[in-house]
Structure 1
């Protein structure tokens, strides 16, 4: 087991990739806390994990809620070895149609919350006097452009740059910081983005045409890449943005 006796906090763990990460981490021996604003699916995810998972409702863009949830998680787990910053918001909307409020909301959830949780988790890891690991969620959209998703592109590009800076800042404290950059993965968020086009079926078809592998990624495939970054197997990896995209960014 790669995460035996480890304690992990996973934001956005109620659905999609985050839930796959939660399930894999428990299978690999970790005890976890899932933080998510989706109470119904979050409770269901935790209940399915045989008492090794705690669910805490949390809007990650609200710093007060974030701090309370993180403190509760650490009190329950006794410590924090791993932080997974997976919570995210997507908005498939062109630049000229995106409002200031919509842009800010996406950045608050995707980028500012990643900064806030990284800072606060790092403080706890340092106080507990043991090394820790932080894995952020970037995206292929940090490295390529598209006519929609303007706020999402900006936020994930910020996460990629923030990860590199945080890796250097926290290296002296024995904390490894990296990011996973998933490609187009079959999650509820992908379907929501397709619906934003006005026709979900046609939207999914248009997304699929861009995939050189001819299929979307599966959440469990991304989870295995996250496990690598979170485990001792990645002991010499700092500040990386690991692309798991089925070749999307190489064509």
Structure 2
């Protein structure tokens, strides 16, 4: 394909949830999105819908971000499509809540998925981003700042992403600008599964909402809108930091029921 004047945005984890919303936000902005996720397109209704709605702006390639060779192939495929990459949103990840006494296999899977993948995706995309003076957005979690029992080793890898954002900024700037985003409780199907795991899903949701000073949990599209802003020239002086968006949840010192 020929080069385009529109921004080329590479996003992982676009088959559902936050990644899907981020992709939708950039698409609605008129950007070209190259999405990737573990699922094959025929098994991902959201992917099929975006491919149908944006046939000239949305492109999808399966990628297993726990495998470095899959990440490398994904980035190469993306570059070959349009000859450049302007923005990378490293979003793919998963809750690995096994506790600090987890098995070694859980530990390794978590760090391959929730830490190494972000580093390696950035590394593979670096040559293209240097040419475009591009931006890397790393999606971490508010668990990077404070967490709860049983959330290891997930929270440990998310904390490490704060340092990854700093190092990418220090070592690759000013050619490439890097920012982290740490969402809190976002209303996705995955979180609904967590609600449904309780004996009273409605009560579990109500209790969760009460823990947020803003009186609600987050919406996926809000993460997308923040990504859109941070990838723009208006955010050009924001780098090397991670922005928490958790509705004030982390401002609470202690939950009343835990006293």
**Fold equivalence (TM over 0.5):** yes
What are the Cα deviations for residues 172-220 of structure 1, in whole angstroms up to 9, with x where unaligned?
A: 4x1100011111001123234446x565826545533432223210001
Find 1:51's aligned residue among 56, 60, 67: 56
How many Å separate the matches in 1 of 2:119 and 2:194? 25
Question: Cα distance 1:200–1:136, how it changes in 2: closer, same or farther (>3 A)?
Answer: farther
> 2:11 & 2:212 partners in 1: Cα distance?
28
How far apart, in 2, do the equivalents of 1:224 and 1:190 lie? 20
1:175 and 2:176 equivalent?
yes
Paired residues for 1:18-37 under 5 Å: 18-37=19-38
Partner residue of 2:88 out of 78, 83, 91: 83
Q: Output the CA distance in 2 between the equivalents of 1:203 and 1:74.
A: 44
- State the SS of the aligned residue for 1:95: coil
**8 Å Cα contact 1:91/1:193 also seen in 2:** no
The structure that has the greater radius of gyration is: 2
Aligned pair in 2 of structure 1 residues 191, 94: CA closer, same or farther (>3 Å)? farther
2:191 is the counterpart of 1:187: no
Unpaired segments of 5 or more residues in structure 2?
Answer: 253-259
CA distance in 2 between counterparts of 1:43 and 1:100 reads 36
Matched, 1:5 2:9: no
Structure 1: state its 5+ residue gaps: none
Give TM-score, length-normalised by structure 2.
0.87
Distance 1:59 1:192, change over 3 A: farther
2:255 aligned residue: none
Q: How far apart are the structure 2 equivalents of 1:23 and 1:33? A: 11
Matches within 5 A, 1:77-226: 77-96=82-101, 98-126=102-130, 129-172=131-174, 174-194=175-195, 199=199, 201=201, 203-226=204-227
Distance 1:200 1:84, change over 3 A: farther
| Preserved CA contact (<8 Å) 2:12 2:90 | yes
Q: Tell me by how many angstroms 1:32 deviates.
A: 1.0
SS in structure 1 of the partner of residue 36 of structure 2:
strand
- Detail structure 1 runs of 4+ shifted over 6 Å in the superposition: none
Q: 1:65 aligns with which of 55, 61, 70?
A: 70
Structure-2 separation of matches of 1:200 and 1:138:
29
Shift in Å, 1:17: 1.1
